[in-house]
Structure 1
């Protein structure tokens, strides 16, 4: 008999304490000894997680009004500039915004706030009759400001690239330092652990899906920037390069510093290490079949960063099983590999979300709209006025 479940039915089981939850890693292990129908009959929710740098992240902060009031024109937090142009005392702090050096930036400030550390605010104002104050300086904490929430334009890439350097000097990139003459290869996606690779056709997620975000509860707010579901795909549905992305939102005041950490890439700049977990409701057998995908069945393109162009040369595709083995072969040369994502902590995110659901702390939500299935990926060409 075909297995069909609704989110309402699954939530009833969560409330009753009878829900059956498995992580993506556990699903893959179970499928080695049982067929997909048997496994699907024994699981209601699959949890998948990642913990990796996500520089297209940021925080919206409302500071509260000063006396006399100020309309912010420029503001820094621990020396990191925040954007002020959308409200008198509202700020947007980008995770990749550098401070006085490339070693500390917006991601570090966000992590400091979540860890309940004090942050120095310096601000100047645009004077107006209703906002006469010209400057303001104070120490703030997460509990001394109003709203503070992550609003991340692009997170949780569905697959990504592998970076190498075929040139003669080290390159400092968003993947970290790439050593010359194919000295190393760096990959960002955690492969078969990655949430959206366990749901390659985006059947289980959509706008409004409740997720684990930074140790608290968040939501999928929209498609992410550079969302590209039209990426070429293997017969198993997984993309051969960067594809779908998610815009995420969640309350910083609920988050845990273990899952929100500032980081920096040497001679490139700051970023934010972020834990994201996504529940995949098991509507039917196809959900389990998709989540059974193995690292040997997912590939990523090897890109040469030595060519400073938008379209760079590729050394072909490699599987995540090859990447996770510690080395790949490029043009007959053995090249050591390393992940940017923490594979161990990615599994811990999935395990934590599993525990929340099993304990009745986390209910699933019905998406209010599907993520787009067709979006071109446009490039920017220079247009000059004549």
Structure 2
């Protein structure tokens, strides 16, 4: 019906018809798939949720005299410095070792007591918000880089590059966590109360970007996206990418499946859409708003995007079993999860989402506005995301390798 070029032409002329996923699903109910496909040019999807496999690349710029950084802390949070003289990678879940750089021993340092309430995600969010961040670095002294240490403050304006590179974002479906044990558990889904006291799910279900393009026919390497309030791109398949997950008849996976690696200029991002967060007794993370445009190239696109919460399922997993493979209490639809209660073994269990449904809708609305005003155009991806990748657990090999 349409091509990317035709849709972009309409976007640039501010004639494109864009709807959010919620609006598209309602329109399909009113007029059917065929008519909706004729009316709509592009569908704006969005999510806002913790994405812990995220981080920032920062190039500080060279000092005088130059330094080759060996160890570095940004506001007390260690940054990885093993791939360039003044290149750093700050992971979202890296835990602060010191309250501030002023308390770091100089020039040699030893790890502090750790401050789990603050980490890399908070520093990234502070930089995006325009705050000045104290930095201390120790050098590996060479003829090229004779400087032994460096202490200063940085902002997003005073560094050469500051961009997010997130190895795993946008899970295509996920699990529901519960705790069948007798003590509270503190997890990446948040606290799970004992004796099935609560359940937490992560995905937004029918609003989730990748569940509306189940075989990633519209999304690939080079796809332009909304990332943290700025332009971003799909860089690669994400880590733990597992598209071979079992699927329902509607092609949607029954558990964690495809993932994407994303990249974007953090200097242009908004503090509204990038926020540091902390999970009690688990650690810091980063909440990010991500929006993915789905071009309506044919009726099949609209048919896939009309999927409802009742048509999507997720497994309920018992975190009280400390193993990689945990028992499950069955599959539950997102309609059941979003009702606020599910029944597990005859017990009514209250349910809450980890992702913000409201803010996910707001991401989609902002992307829709970009599309309608010509601020955002679509890209043809340069290569597809592989859909035949299997998941390889580490313990598959570990027992076969003798230790010397």
* 2:202 is the counterpart of 1:191: no
Please say which of residues 13-22 and 261-270 is displaced more in the overlay: 13-22
TM superposition shift of 1:17:
1.3
* 2:145 is the counterpart of 1:148: no
Whole-angstrom distance in 1 between the partners of 2:393 and 2:127:
36
Residue-by-residue CA offset, 1:122-155 (whole Å, 9 max, x unaligned): 1000000010000000011110111000000000
* 2:73 is the counterpart of 1:88: no
Superposed counterparts of 1:255-266, under 5 Å: 255-266=269-280
Superposed counterparts of 1:184-223, under 5 Å: 184-223=198-237
* 2:380 is the counterpart of 1:380: no
Whole-angstrom distance in 2 between the partners of 1:293 and 1:39:
14
* 2:378 is the counterpart of 1:343: no
What does residue 50 of structure 2 align with? 53
TM-score for both structures, normalised by structure 2: 0.94
Other structure's SS at 2:31 match: coil
Other structure's SS at 1:229 match: coil
Other structure's SS at 1:202 match: coil
Superposed counterparts of 1:1-386, under 5 Å: 4-100=1-97, 101-381=115-395, 382=398, 383-386=401-404
Other structure's SS at 1:34 match: helix
Segments of 4+ in structure 1 off by > 6 A?
none
Whole-angstrom distance in 1 between the partners of 2:265 and 2:8:
23
Other structure's SS at 1:143 match: coil
Whole-angstrom distance in 1 between the partners of 2:335 and 2:136:
49
TM superposition shift of 1:89:
0.2
Whole-angstrom distance in 1 between the partners of 2:120 and 2:187:
18
TM superposition shift of 1:117:
0.6
Other structure's SS at 1:96 match: coil
TM superposition shift of 1:34:
1.2
TM superposition shift of 1:328:
0.5
Residues matched between the structures, number: 383
TM superposition shift of 1:32:
1.3
TM-score for both structures, normalised by structure 1: 0.99
Residue-by-residue CA offset, 1:353-386 (whole Å, 9 max, x unaligned): 0000100000100000000010010001223325
Whole-angstrom distance in 2 between the partners of 1:199 and 1:102:
37
TM superposition shift of 1:248:
0.1
Whole-angstrom distance in 1 between the partners of 2:125 and 2:65:
30
Residue-by-residue CA offset, 1:151-185 (whole Å, 9 max, x unaligned): 00000000000000000000000000000000000
**Uncovered stretches (5+) of structure 1, i.e. residues with no partner:** none
CA RMSD of aligned residues (A): 0.6
**Uncovered stretches (5+) of structure 2, i.e. residues with no partner:** 98-114
Whole-angstrom distance in 1 between the partners of 2:64 and 2:187:
44
Whole-angstrom distance in 2 between the partners of 1:191 and 1:35:
21
Whole-angstrom distance in 2 between the partners of 1:13 and 1:115:
34
